[in-house]
A and B are shown apart, each in its own frame.
Chain A
Amino acid sequence: MKNEAAKEKIGFGALLVATLVIVVPVILIVGLIIARGFGALSWEFLFTMPRDGMKAGGIFPAIVGTFILVVTSIAFALPIGVMAAVYLHEYARENLLTRIINLAIINLAGVSSVVFGLFGFSLFVIFLKFGVSITAGALTLGIMTLPVIITTTREALRAVPQSYREVSFSLGASRWQTVRHAVLPFATPGILTGAILSVGRVAGETAPILFTVAAFYLPRLPHSLGDQVMALPYHLYITTTQIPNVPEGYRYGTALVLVGLVLIVNVAAVILRSKMRHRK
């Protein structure tokens, strides 16, 4: 008996250590970014153009650029991803084709982001002649985030009880009516979760936008989807590695804004999601 109790203590101890190993780095990262970057935050930093070869001034165009990329890529990927997931889960019967498609989705999720960048460059920028533009970047980011959206949407659909579908069918509803009225409304919170995860990924990626949209230095706002933009992660990369003597606060401030932007979007989506849950 004593032995069992000791074993249990060691077991729980190991689990606790594993949990701390996850939590501690997160706290350290966030703490470091806040400690070093918070001082740089100011009205000027957030809402003006960079000056003096990006060693001073603000990061406004990068904030706007990242925001535009998030909105356009999600606007492209969310409908397509949700429709694909609905088809795969609600319509398609399990056969060789759907198994291949599922395998493809899993593999798509495992492709490294720089490969997506290269793919987007050759397809959208060169072959389809979109040029280095918001369109090319948003499509590249969108394709990269599709597996996340499809997978989470499918999980959300799976979580809707099968009995809802049976009830709907038994009341004479067609398959589409059943999906539209007895499945999707109750899967929406879960689908939103997928969108939230995608926002974080899209906002933070550097490699896919490297060849497709990101501008090194562009001190004006874009006028159309054919323009290049600056983006926060790429801006962070160049101010850290390409330009000498950029003040530390400026770099960490950029990182803080990036993390904060993702956080704000996530919190907004979580609030929206819980509101939808309470409504019913």
Chain B
Amino acid sequence: MSAGGISIRDLNIRWGGESVLRGLNLDIVPNELLSIIGPSNSGKTTFLRSLNRLNDLDPGISKTGRILLDGRDIDREIGIEELRKRIGMIFALPIPLPISVYDNVTYGPRLAGVRGKDTLDRIVEDSLKAAFLWDEVKDRLKSSGQKLSGGQQQRLCIARTLALEPDVILFDEPCSGLDPISTAKVEDSMLELRKRHTIVLVTNNTKQAARVGTRTAFFLMGEMVEVGQTGLIFTSPADKRTEDYIVGRFG
């Protein structure tokens, strides 16, 4: 059975009394790459952060509805630490901790109790290879993760997430601070990861959604306007507002 399916049922999220996400129902199937597009303040990132319960850090956020990971309620039936190991996250800005490349990659496994130099060495090599970073950093694993270039840092963050072998990876506008070449490298790794992970990608770049997504969802003002095969959404969207956004009439 392939893991990493997420079901969202009647999800409503409020922040400081204001509704940011309303009546969301969505099924994300294992091994798909779902892109979420939409203008700023449409609730995309809030939605993403609700999937690994990162919103719980902000006491001003409240939610109703249910989110199921492979049939289990993420609020009641899965421990929060286990949930976050199974659903990894890549942030908009690359945030390597000010420790070595090696220690960045092993951060999650070490805290999860993985010991033994050989095991950790293998995790580092496998994860960095999967993030297309191994060849560039294999000779400086001991130098600080913050000394890498911006694009390398973001791929280091991907490797760090992969080290926990998550079923789902959330990308929150991962290329918003990167140049086109670095962006292409990150997209390459996403296409590769798509084969073995479920991916949810929030992006402001509609072209990126068209390039890498199997399905695309369009969010507007806290509601999901429509979701469908990426090819269909970009050629014949069902909703006028989706078309307007894609051709650039607003947003």
Which of A93, A171, A280 lies at the interface centre, i.e. has the most chain B CB atoms within 10 A of its CB?
A171
Cross-chain contact A172 with B59 (CB below 8 angstroms)? no
Stretch of A24-32, A160-168, A234-242, A254-262 on the interface side: A160-168
Cross-chain contact A171 with B59 (CB below 8 angstroms)? no
Could you give, for residues 163-197 of chain A, a 1 whenever the CB lies within 8 Å of some chain B CB and a 0 otherwise? 11111111111100100011001100000000000
Chain B residue at minimum C-beta to C-beta distance from A170: B89
**Using a CB-CB cutoff of 8 Å, which residues 52-93 of chain B contact chain A?**
52, 54, 57, 59, 81-82, 84-85, 88-89, 91, 93
**Given known contacts A164-B97, A166-B91, A172 and B54 CB-to-CB distance under 8 angstroms:** no
Cβ–Cβ < 8 Å partners of B144 in chain A: 280
Cβ-based interface call for B15 (8 A): no
Cross-chain contact A168 with B91 (CB below 8 angstroms)? no
Q: B18 to chain A: closest CB distance in Å?
A: 20
Cβ-based interface call for B164 (8 A): yes
Report the bound CA distance from A185 to B99 in whole Å.
10
Cβ-based interface call for B108 (8 A): yes
Report the bound CA distance from A171 to B81 in whole Å.
8
**Given known contacts A93-B59, A181-B107, A172 and B97 CB-to-CB distance under 8 angstroms:** no
Report the bound CA distance from A173 to B52 in whole Å.
12
**Using a CB-CB cutoff of 8 Å, which residues 78-130 of chain B contact chain A?**
81-82, 84-85, 88-89, 91, 93, 95, 97-99, 107-108, 111-112
Cross-chain contact B95 with A167 (CB below 8 angstroms)? yes
Report the bound CA distance from A163 to B157 in whole Å.
13
Cβ-based interface call for B160 (8 A): yes
Cβ–Cβ < 8 Å partners of A186 in chain B: 98
**Using a CB-CB cutoff of 8 Å, which residues 123-147 of chain A contact chain B?**
none
Cross-chain contact B99 with A280 (CB below 8 angstroms)? yes
Cross-chain contact A171 with B98 (CB below 8 angstroms)? no
Cross-chain contact A170 with B98 (CB below 8 angstroms)? no
**Given known contacts A181-B107, A181-B111, A167 and B81 CB-to-CB distance under 8 angstroms:** no
Chain B residue at minimum C-beta to C-beta distance from A174: B81
Which of these, A161, A169, A181, contacts B54 with CB under 8 Å? A169
Cross-chain contact A167 with B84 (CB below 8 angstroms)? no
Chain A residue at minimum C-beta to C-beta distance from B145: A280
**Given known contacts A182-B97, A280-B144, A169 and B84 CB-to-CB distance under 8 angstroms:** yes
Cβ–Cβ < 8 Å partners of A93 in chain B: 59
Report the bound CA distance from A168 to B82 in whole Å.
13
Which of B84, B111, B112 lies at the interface centre, i.e. has the most chain A CB atoms within 10 A of its CB?
B111
Cross-chain contact A167 with B54 (CB below 8 angstroms)? no
Report the bound CA distance from A174 to B82 in whole Å.
10
Report the bound CA distance from A161 to B98 in whole Å.
11
Cross-chain contact A170 with B82 (CB below 8 angstroms)? no
Cβ-based interface call for B161 (8 A): yes
Could you give, for residues 7-42 of chain A, a 1 whenever the CB lies within 8 Å of some chain B CB and a 0 otherwise? 000000000000000000000000000000000000
Cross-chain contact A173 with B111 (CB below 8 angstroms)? yes
Cross-chain contact A173 with B81 (CB below 8 angstroms)? yes
Report the bound CA distance from A272 to B69 in whole Å.
48
Cross-chain contact A172 with B91 (CB below 8 angstroms)? no
Chain B residue at minimum C-beta to C-beta distance from A181: B111
Cβ–Cβ < 8 Å partners of A173 in chain B: 81, 107-108, 111
24 cross-chain CB contacts under 8 A: A93-B59, A161-B95, A163-B95, A164-B95, A165-B57, A166-B54, A166-B91, A166-B95, A167-B91, A167-B95, A167-B97, A167-B157, A170-B52, A170-B54, A170-B84, A170-B89, A171-B88, A171-B161, A171-B164, A172-B84, A172-B108, A172-B164, A181-B111, A185-B99
On A, residues with C-beta under 8 Å from B are 93, 161, 163-174, 177, 181-182, 185-186, 280
On B, residues with C-beta under 8 Å from A are 52, 54, 57, 59, 81-82, 84-85, 88-89, 91, 93, 95, 97-99, 107-108, 111-112, 144, 157, 160-161, 164
